A and B are shown apart, each in its own frame.
Chain A
Amino acid sequence: MRPVATTPAPALALPVGWRSCLARRRIARVGFYGLVVGSLLPIVFPILWMFLSALKPLDELVTIPPSWLPRHPTLRHFRDLLALTNFPIYIWNSTLAACLTAGITVAVATLGAYSLTRFQYRGRQILATFTLLAYMFPPILLAIPLFVVITRLGMADSLLSLALAHISFALPFCLWLMWGYMKSVPMALEEAAMIDGASRMGAFAWVVIPMSLPGIIAIGVLSFLVSWNDYLYALILLTSEGKKTLSLGVSTFIGPMAVEWGLINAAGVVVTLPVIVFFGAVQQFLVQGFGAGAVKE
């Protein structure tokens, strides 16, 4: 029953069976997107579930079957978190430690990387190897002696000590990234500046730093996140409630007897949000870094 002569032959002859071919391709396309969504779901759903749970009132959190979307969304848990717990103190402490870490790491790593790329002296290769090695030292191997020394010096329970520990953890990696970045900043421009009368450090401040800004921002964000995300050093170095960081403070919420799941999920949301924002800002750089240099680290 094929209409043979009724329709004129198309000007551009399509291959026989093109209709089913297109249909098959469409099915393949849908199937492919199904596969993508299906694999992303277990990756992303846990985080999404935290956001949804944070917005549900308590009784809705313990119903079976559970409600998927919050039926009566509420910000109560966020209010309770800020008003009834020490959460605001934790936020402040974490912010302070992370800013200290980021500020000092950026300053030290930028100067160090400049020195390593623009000056000639022996031992640079040794330092390169060592930064790699340092990155692989077990944190627990460093944490135990650091705890002993810092306690004996009477410097425990201080956010500065914590920040210094975080810096030691972030510095090798950041120095490595910055090293790679500064190598790509052409030397001709600073030489030109120096010929025009700028001092070495003047050229560094007015030429090299502006040109390295993307790298500087990236290591700033990275070291901030190292500190923000840390749990081990905070656990070992901090003792008093007033000094606790977010990770340490929130960990006291989730003991085996935890029941305040609304509060806990809300806390998780607040801890995660700045990470997502910051990470979004430097994602491109990081992915490149991971690809090009960071894997070689």
Chain B
Amino acid sequence: MGTRENRLGLLLLTPTLILMAGFVVFPVLYAGWLSLNQSDPFRQVTTFVGMANFQRLLQGEEFWDSLRVGLVFTAATVALQVVVGMAVALLLHQPFRGRGVARALALFPFIVPTIVAVLIWRWLLNDSYGIVNYLLKALGLIQAPIIWFGTPGMAMVSVVLVNVWQFFPFVVVTLLARLTTIPEEQYEAARIDGASAPQQFWFITLPHLKTILAVVILLRGIWMFQKFEVIYLLTRGGPLRSTQHLPILAYTELFVNFRMGQAAAVAVLGFLILAAASAVYLKMHRPVEAEL
């Protein structure tokens, strides 16, 4: 009886296992195999070249440039998302009429499809007719319109801006959930002792949020480091590769240069860097492990 029962259980799990094996495990292993080969994706000739792809990557400039761009992009977007997300979460944690609506509205950018977020911002930041340039000019902050995606420096600013706008609500939702679990008595006690609002934040709120903040930073870091669509759609990695990070480099290697092995090697290296960074991070923040 017991074994028959268990066989049914395994049977029910089979579709899950097949899909995971075929579309997650196999691709990852296959990417590893591809990275050791040199081949043309459209002709079916493959030659084993060992570590040659990695060697070429690590010796060339493009990989290191893309890695640097990726690190700058990740650090900037995660830092801004956490700061903005924390501020909005604290605000929306206050009781006030219409709070439910305000919370739903604050979530909007996160649920909008990426393509829509991109087209919205291309329109807002349009050189000639964009509302942002108009407002900046009307306020006297700029003389000539800003070419948002035209110069290397501004292109990075723009992609960071759009990514922060789209993804900070994740931080808000996560922090709001944790804020509600902080016992109100602690604030009452602090108020009786005469603690000011900033003091209450520093000595009560922040310690409670410490672990969840560490988790949020880890997750957002992982996701931003590999985020492809927004940058690709906004700048294609340009101008002059100034916004080309590793995912875009991998894509370019495969679909522009037709170097499959090289593309796989970029993806694998990106993954290894991410895994190593996450492992070190988890070592540094032990409690996070329990949270995951």
**Does residue A35 face the partner (Cβ distance < 8 Å to B)?**
yes
**A66 touching B228 in the complex, CB below 8 Å, given contacts A144-B250, A264-B123, A268-B116:** no
Contact indicator A229/B20 (Cβ below 8 Å): no
- Contact segment of A5-13, A113-121, A212-220: A113-121
Contact flags B111-128 to A (C-beta < 8 A → 1, else 0): 111111011111110101
Contact indicator A141/B268 (Cβ below 8 Å): yes
**Does residue B201 face the partner (Cβ distance < 8 Å to A)?**
no
**A268 touching B20 in the complex, CB below 8 Å, given contacts A39-B88, A49-B131:** no
Contact indicator B5/A231 (Cβ below 8 Å): no
Q: What's the minimum C-beta distance from B47 to chain A, rounded to whole angstroms?
A: 15
Q: Which of B171-211 contact A (CB under 8 A)?
A: 173-174, 176-178, 180
A30 to B28, CA, bound (A): 55
Contact indicator B254/A144 (Cβ below 8 Å): yes
- Contact segment of B8-16, B50-58, B71-79, B152-160: B8-16
**A43 touching B105 in the complex, CB below 8 Å, given contacts A66-B134, A145-B30:** yes
Contact indicator B254/A271 (Cβ below 8 Å): no
Complex contacts, A149 vs chain B, CB 8 Å: 26-27, 30
Contact indicator B28/A287 (Cβ below 8 Å): no
Complex contacts, A258 vs chain B, CB 8 Å: 122
**Does residue A140 face the partner (Cβ distance < 8 Å to B)?**
yes
**Does residue A203 face the partner (Cβ distance < 8 Å to B)?**
no
Contact indicator A142/B24 (Cβ below 8 Å): yes
A49 to B114, CA, bound (A): 16
**A144 touching B15 in the complex, CB below 8 Å, given contacts A47-B112, A254-B122:** no
Contact indicator A47/B270 (Cβ below 8 Å): no
**A168 touching B174 in the complex, CB below 8 Å, given contacts A36-B96, A138-B271:** no
Q: Which of A148-166 contact B (CB under 8 A)?
A: 148-149, 151-152, 164-165
In the complex, the chain A residue whose C-beta lies closest to that of B253 is: A144
**A50 touching B123 in the complex, CB below 8 Å, given contacts A32-B94, A247-B115:** yes
**Does residue A132 face the partner (Cβ distance < 8 Å to B)?**
yes
Q: What's the minimum C-beta distance from B67 to chain A, rounded to whole angstroms?
A: 14
Contact indicator B113/A272 (Cβ below 8 Å): yes
**Does residue A250 face the partner (Cβ distance < 8 Å to B)?**
yes
**Does residue B31 face the partner (Cβ distance < 8 Å to A)?**
yes
Q: What's the minimum C-beta distance from B270 to chain A, rounded to whole angstroms?
A: 6
A148 to B258, CA, bound (A): 11
Secondary structure call for the B interface: helix
In the complex, the chain A residue whose C-beta lies closest to that of B15 is: A108
A254 to B268, CA, bound (A): 31
Complex contacts, B126 vs chain A, CB 8 Å: 261
Q: Which of B74-124 contact A (CB under 8 A)?
A: 87-88, 91-92, 94, 96, 102-109, 111-116, 118-124
Q: What's the minimum C-beta distance from B10 to chain A, rounded to whole angstroms?
A: 6
Complex contacts, A64 vs chain B, CB 8 Å: 129, 134
- Contact segment of A15-23, A80-88, A289-297: A289-297
Q: What's the minimum C-beta distance from B75 to chain A, rounded to whole angstroms?
A: 18
Interface residues on A, range: 35 or more
Complex contacts, B146 vs chain A, CB 8 Å: none
Tell me how many residues of B have a C-beta within 8 Å of chain A: 89
**A138 touching B24 in the complex, CB below 8 Å, given contacts A111-B13, A232-B228, A290-B177:** no
A165 to B113, CA, bound (A): 18
User: Which residue of the partner chain, among B115, B123, B228, contacts A250 with CB atoms under 8 Å?
Assistant: B115
**Does residue B222 face the partner (Cβ distance < 8 Å to A)?**
yes
Complex contacts, A116 vs chain B, CB 8 Å: 13
A200 to B11, CA, bound (A): 13
Contact indicator A229/B215 (Cβ below 8 Å): no
Contact indicator A119/B41 (Cβ below 8 Å): no
Complex contacts, A168 vs chain B, CB 8 Å: 19-20, 22-24
Q: What's the minimum C-beta distance from A220 to chain B, rounded to whole angstroms?
A: 16
Q: Which of A161-198 contact B (CB under 8 A)?
A: 164-165, 167-168, 171-172, 175
Q: What's the minimum C-beta distance from A181 to chain B, rounded to whole angstroms?
A: 15
Contact indicator A141/B116 (Cβ below 8 Å): no
**Does residue A89 face the partner (Cβ distance < 8 Å to B)?**
no
Q: Which of A62-81 contact B (CB under 8 A)?
A: 62, 64-66
A229 to B122, CA, bound (A): 18
The 9 residue pairs across chains A and B that have the minimum distance between CB atoms? A119-B9, A291-B177, A168-B23, A138-B226, A112-B16, A115-B12, A145-B27, A229-B113, A145-B30
Residues on A lying within 8 angstroms of B by beta carbon are 32-33, 35-36, 39-40, 42-44, 46-47, 49-50, 53, 61-62, 64-66, 107-109, 111-112, 114-116, 118-121, 130-132, 134, 136-142, 144-149, 151-152, 164-165, 167-168, 171-172, 175, 200, 225, 228-229, 231-232, 236, 246-247, 250-251, 253-254, 258, 261, 264-265, 267-268, 271-272, 275-276, 279-280, 283, 287, 290-292, 295-297
Give 18 A-B pairs besides A151-B41, A291-B176 with Cβ atoms closer than 8 angstroms. A42-B165, A66-B131, A66-B134, A111-B15, A118-B9, A119-B12, A120-B6, A120-B9, A138-B274, A140-B247, A171-B16, A232-B229, A254-B122, A265-B123, A272-B116, A276-B111, A290-B177, A292-B177
Cβ contacts A to B, 22 pairs, < 8 Å: A36-B91, A42-B165, A49-B120, A49-B131, A64-B129, A114-B12, A119-B6, A130-B20, A132-B292, A139-B228, A141-B226, A144-B31, A148-B34, A149-B26, A152-B44, A168-B19, A171-B19, A229-B113, A261-B126, A295-B215, A296-B291, A296-B292
